[in-house]
Amino acid sequence: MIVVTGGAGFIGSSFIWKLNQEGFDNIIIVDNLYDSTKWENLVNLRYRNYFHRDEFIQRLLKEDFDFNINAIFHLGACSATTETDMDFLMENNFKYTQILAKWCLQNHSYFMYASSAATYGNGSEGFEDNEKNLVKLKPINRYGYSKHLFDLTAQQQDWAENLVGLKFFNVFGPNEYHKGDMRSVVCKAFDQVGHTKQMKLFKSYHPDFEDGGQKRDFIYVKDCVDVMWWLYKNPKISGLFNVGTGSARTWNDLANALFLAMDIPPSIEYIEMPDSLKNQYQYYTEATMAKLRSVGYKKPFTSLEHAVKDYVQKYMSTPSKHLSN
């Protein structure tokens, strides 16, 4: 049995879709649905059971299950980079991960967890997924620090040799619709462009970047779950890995890819950035992918243009929108 925490969320539900594609449905979903629309991500998926995260933790620690857990994919956390409740982040992102990691290590179960490119801060120390460089990293928002803290803990406790951590960069794709302001720009701009024929991007306040010239390593969610599946099928591989394409692209590139996919002439308006974002804004991110390649992952990553086209035309422009088996 495989457990996927955050299984109704964006990457979690996408990974379950991937597992289903590979013929696997012995899956337990752990999440916290409340009144979120993320339940819609589950409609097309095959799985055995669902547990609220609080019930799951209680039963896990009491060994109160009638099945064996072979692996936990921990994708359940607060992913809002603008979250200001640090106690909430420490409990939800750091301590929760600690509990699951310790359980898996003690019970010899596979453990994979989501870290984040936000741990790299402003990028002054580069974007190399080398555990030896972890102590140098200085996240610039609370979310990034909560993720970084567990990366450091795994290193200090010598856990890294027995688990897999993934530093996801700018992930976009189907099943992110419930994320509100944390949706990708592609997702948020789709309706905007459809109604106004124009897209809004933040102005740049950095002399090295023109308006819309800020760069991100955008990666399609289908590529992310391919990496996850491959790592799971190669259990001798462990450690901390970047999950990006290794090729930074501008927001202007992203906008133009969206206009092309929607068959609408490009029209971009550059707007002021909220003051709350200015001091924690990343102007450039680009994953170094040599480490993942060095352990044998060979599949190419989808280009930005092809990924946006697939997302827009196969999902957002259709009634179902969600990944489906």
Q: Is-catalytic flag, 188?
A: no
Alpha carbon distances (Å) from 98 to 6, 111, 130, 157, 181: 16, 11, 21, 11, 28
CB 239 within 8 A of CB 170: no
Task: Please give the structure tokens belonging to residue 260.
Answer: 């092309």
Buried b (16+ CB within 10 A) or exposed e, 10-48: bbbbbbbbbbbeeeeeebbbbbeeeeeebebbbebbebe
Q: Residue 278 and residue 272: Cα distance in Å, rounded?
A: 10
Query: Which residues make Cβ contacts (< 8 Å) with residue 44, sequence separation at least 6?
Result: 17, 320, 322, 323, 324, 325
φ and ψ at 199, to 5 degrees? -125, 140
Measure the CA dihedral 96/99/103/105, to 10°. Answer: 100
Among candidate residues 96, 110, 113, 143, the one labeled active-site is 143
Q: Is-catalytic flag, 270?
A: no
Measure the CA dihedral 243/43/179/127, to 10°. Answer: 0
Among candidate residues 18, 147, 167, 179, the one labeled active-site is 179
Helix (H) or strand (E) holding 106: helix 96-107
Closest among 139, 33, 149 to 95, alpha carbons compared: 149
SS3 262: helix
Task: Please give the structure tokens belonging to residue 52.
Answer: 């609220």
> Mind telling me the catalytic residues?
143, 179
